[in-house]
Amino acid sequence: MKRKLVRRVVCAAACLLFCGAARAEVEFLAVSVGKGDALLLRVGDYICLIDTGKAEAEEQLARVLERCGVKALDAVFLTHTDKDHTGGMKWLRKSGIEIRAIYASRYHPEVKDKKHPAAKAAKKLDLEVNWLSAGDEVALGETGAVFRVVAPLQPFEGNDDDNSLVMMLDSPDGRILFTGDMEYQEELTLLASGADLKCDVLKVPNHGDSDACGASLIAACSPKVAVISTDREEKPDTPDKNVLKNLDRAGCVTYVTENCSFGVHVRLEEGRVSTEYVSW
């Protein structure tokens, strides 16, 4: 089936994402949390959160989860230890939202296991952390979709961005590559591994900074849509002009969370991609 792209840019005072009667089988929301990642994904009845944003964005995350009707999360994935990805975890575990599983990158040489934000939360919730690295897979319930972990392949000292958990969502409706804050060192190792990175949607690594998302990665992914989570006031020069140019040259439509107050909403259905900005 030939895949089609639909681009929609809208503002909405109210939002019934994840709970509407006409919902798609695969959808994710890149929550507008400033310079940080909080990605809410639903596949069928399976709902998970990839990263939790920074502590200063807890109120925003809480409001979005409430508006989306999220009362339980089948899993929380923490891609790496940076506070703009893990800062909301403490609030989340105290929020009353049920968390059924916690996953994190196996490699985090700068932080001991027991000090990792995932481990701290898991201890409070009487859970075990599922440590992931390349080659692991996580089935998304009974949906037929799976996360295929393509990185990290090895630990990198001194920069936890390059130990980011990188996962390909592989589903009957399409593919999404979630990249955390992967920078060039991990990116080059991933490309050299020969992993199949073709995807419909790319969550651009490291907020679209100049130290990530090279032309070779974009070519390997060939995405129709790219999503960048950032805020220029918090991280100037993001998204980087060259990253945006390379995405544009590849025929990719790019959405940036700073352009809306709620988040970037992406749907996949039978190979069809639709994307929209959503504001309060």
The pLDDT of residue 250: 96
Structure tokens at 182: 């992967």
What domains appear along the chain, each with residue ranges and CATH number? 25-278 (3.60.15.10)
Q: What is the largest CA-CA distance in the chain?
A: 48
Q: Is residue 99 within 8 Å of residue 76, measured between CB atoms?
A: yes
CA distances from 158 to 60, 107, 197, 215 (A): 31, 12, 26, 25
Write out pLDDT tens, residues 191-226.
999 999 999 999 999 999 999 999 999 999 999 999
Write out pLDDT tens, residues 134-148.
999 999 999 999 999
The pLDDT of residue 280: 85
- CA atoms lying within 13 Å on the CB side of residue 59: 2
152 alpha carbon, distance to own chain's centre: 15
The pLDDT of residue 209: 97
Q: How far is residue 166's CA from residue 203's CA, in Å, rounded to a whole number?
A: 10
When the pLDDT of each residue in the chain is averaged and rounded to a whole number, the result is 92
Residue with tokens 């992914």: 221
Write out pLDDT tens, residues 154-185.
999 999 999 999 999 999 999 999 999 999 99
Structural element, H or E, at residue 148: strand 146-151
The pLDDT of residue 16: 45
pLDDT beneath 50, residues of the chain: 1-16, 19, 21-22
Structure tokens at 194: 């020969």
Task: Tell which phi-psi region holds residue 73, choosing left (phi > 0), alpha (psi between -120 and 50) or beta.
Answer: beta
Report H helices in 69-140.
83-86, 89-94, 117-125
The pLDDT of residue 24: 61
The pLDDT of residue 23: 53
The pLDDT of residue 29: 97
Counting residues of the chain whose pLDDT is more than 90, the rounded percentage is: 90
Structural element, H or E, at residue 278: strand 272-278
